[in-house]
Amino acid sequence: MMDAEPLEEDNLLDENHDLDSDELYEHYRIVIDKKQSLLRIDKFLMDRLPHATRNKIQNAIEAHTILVNNKAIKSSYKVKPLDVITITLPDPPRDTEVVPEDIPLNIVYEDEELLLVNKPAGMVVHPAYGNWTGTLVNALSFYLNNLPTSRNGTIRPGLVHRIDKDTSGLLVIAKTEFAMTYLARQFYDHSIERTYYALVWGVPKEKKGTITGHVGRSLKDRRVMSVYPNGEQGKHAVTHYEVIKTFKYVSLVKCNLETGRSHQIRAHMKYLGHPLFSDATYGGDKILQGQPTGSYKAFVENAFKIIPRQALHAQSLGFIHPKTKEFLQFSSEFPEDFVQALAKWELYAD
């Protein structure tokens, strides 16, 4: 019998819940040993996957996120020698205790399986060092605790993706184990439709384009993501962009994510030569276009005060509903600071 091993030859393991991804799932690949005896797949996987329970595995099988030889199977399927098993599971909950907090949530949509939240800029998604309270997960823990869908008193706010603290916009939250698994598979398959709007410095030469370049931690500063076009570092990342409107020195750009790496749009747009407006981490909080003097300097500094964070908004999400199998599309309006910044630049450019 063969255990899960790092994917070096053809055995296993590609885990995608690291800090370089905004998509929270695990992905595994197992090639069954030639000497493996017949054994139910749920029993087989329980012994080999971290954090696995029979319920979690059976939910994944039902959601068709566990495949054998690229085909859906039942829980009663018995693994055979040389079978190839591919598995996509939602990111396991961390050991950190989450304290429920009564924090208002802007809920765009909710049913028994999931809910959509329009996250304000400034709110951290998940508790971590330096931000143990006041996060979206703290708020969800409080909100979900009052719903009949919480099981056995256990609260698992079902994050399958995240957005940066100072990015505003839509997040889908799974309320059941099945929904978490089903949505995680769509993120892994890149079938989730995600549209962001960004205000960037300058005017891209091409009105439409695709930025392809691995995104990973900077070798000089671990807080920053760098683009590695030759793939020597980081992970594969693709952003499709379109210039919607220009305002002389800045542009409103629509970005569609094909992959979901951490800081992907921010890193990709800087690599293109157009950092996000007011993005201190990637140099966008300085005057990068026009002469930094006189009334123009005062104008830009005032614009920075209006939107003192990266000008990025997760505007829409589209996905297949876990139960109804209907494709759902949701959108959100630009937040007030984004609207005011756009209006200020529009007046300046006229």
Q: What is the DSSP string of 208-244?
A: EEEEE-EEEE-SS-TTSEEEETTSSSSB--EEEEEEE
Report yes or no: 223 and 235 within 8 Å, Cβ to Cβ: no
Question: pLDDT band for position 149 (50/70/90)?
Answer: very low
Residues 92, 50: Cα–Cα separation, whole Å: 9
Decide which of 40 and 146 is more confident: 40
Return the DSSP state at 98: P
Q: Are 91 and 66 in contact (CB under 8 A)?
A: no
∠ CA 300-316-193, rounded to 5° = 125
Q: Which residue has the tokens 């094909």?
A: 258
Q: How many residues does the chain have?
A: 350
Summary mean pLDDT of the chain: 86
Torsion sign (Cα): 241, 245, 248, 253: negative
What is the predicted pLDDT for the residue at 7?
28
Higher local confidence (pLDDT), 249 or 19? 249
pLDDT-based confidence at residue 274 (cuts at 50, 70, 90) = very high
Residue 83 annotated in active site: no
pLDDT tens column, 98-118: 788 999 999 999 999 999 999
pLDDT(15) > 50: no
pLDDT of residue 129: 63
Residue with tokens 């990111």: 91
Packing angle of the helix pair 177-188, 54-62 (nearest 10 deg) = 60
Supply the pLDDT for residue 146: 54
70: closest CA among 29, 39, 33, 25?
29
* Residue 228 predicted with pLDDT over 80: yes
Render pLDDT for 50-99 as a digit per residue (tens, 0 to 9).
667 788 888 888 888 889 998 989 988 999 999 999 888 776 555 556 78
Query: Can you give the pTM of this predicted structure?
Result: 0.79
Which amino acid is residue 50, in one-letter code? P
Number of Cβ within 10 Å of residue 52's Cβ equals: 18
pLDDT, mean of residues 127-145: 83
| Per annotation, catalytic residue among 22, 42, 164, 337 | 164
pLDDT tens string 163-215 = 999 999 999 999 988 898 899 889 988 899 999 999 999 999 999 999 999 99
